[in-house]
């Protein structure tokens, strides 16, 4: 159950308001990066700990790029804040979310995939991912 919650929170972070379109984006990113649902579930079941595969990191990059939250390897913190502030259930958490997002906005990895993944983990640590409280 915890894995499902983490997966849902990650999905929410990367695709708030996208609904059915997001499922299509997920499938596209999974295919492009040879990531299976089993790979994702295994990683979530480990509490998103451990060393992710390059494919999993690039899957995260793909999702963030398609949502406009990562451009040319740079995390677009304002785009994520703008996405989340339009979601009613996050309205009373925006100060905390904004603080967490801003704490993660300058993170850089060894490549774009690594950057996307490190930003996602930073957001999780700072509880800027809805559902991680």
The 10s digit of each residue's pLDDT in 53-76 is 999 999 999 999 988 999 999 999
Residues 27, 41: Cα–Cα separation, whole Å: 14
Beta carbons within 8 Å of 131's beta carbon, 6+ residues apart: 5, 6, 8, 9, 12
Separation in Å, CA 98 to CA 5, 63, 77, 83, 87 = 21, 20, 9, 11, 14
Give per-residue pLDDT as tens, 82-124. 888 877 777 788 888 888 899 999 999 999 999 999 998 888 8
- Tell me the pLDDT band of 125, cut-offs 50, 70 and 90: confident
User: For residue 72, which of 112, 127, 126 has the smallest C-alpha distance?
Assistant: 112
Instruction: Return the domain boundaries, the chain.
Output: 2-125
With contact defined as beta carbons under 8 Å apart, do 103 and 95 qualify?
no
- Tell me the pLDDT band of 37, cut-offs 50, 70 and 90: confident
Helices 94-104, 112-125: axis angle to 10 degrees equals 140
**CA contacts within 13 A on the Cβ side of 118:** 16
pLDDT for residue 43: 81
2-125: which CATH topology? Recoverin; domain 1 (1.10.238)
For residue 26, give both structure tokens: 């997920």
């Amino acid at each position: 159950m915890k894995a499902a919650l983490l997966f849902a929170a990650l999905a929410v972070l990367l695709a708030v308001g996208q609904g059915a379109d997001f499922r299509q984006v997920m499938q596209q990113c999974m295919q492009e990066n040879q990531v299976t649902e089993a790979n994702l579930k295994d990683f979530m079941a480990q509490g998103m700990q451990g060393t992710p595969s390059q494919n999993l990191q690039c899957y995260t990059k793909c999702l963030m790029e398609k949502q406009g939250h990562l451009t040319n390897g740079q995390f677009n913190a304002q785009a994520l804040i703008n996405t989340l502030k339009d979601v009613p259930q996050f309205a009373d958490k925006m100060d905390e979310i904004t603080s967490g997002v801003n704490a993660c906005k300058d993170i850089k990895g060894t490549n774009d995939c690594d950057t996307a993944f490190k930003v996602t983990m930073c957001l999780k640590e700072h509880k800027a991912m809805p559902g991680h409280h």
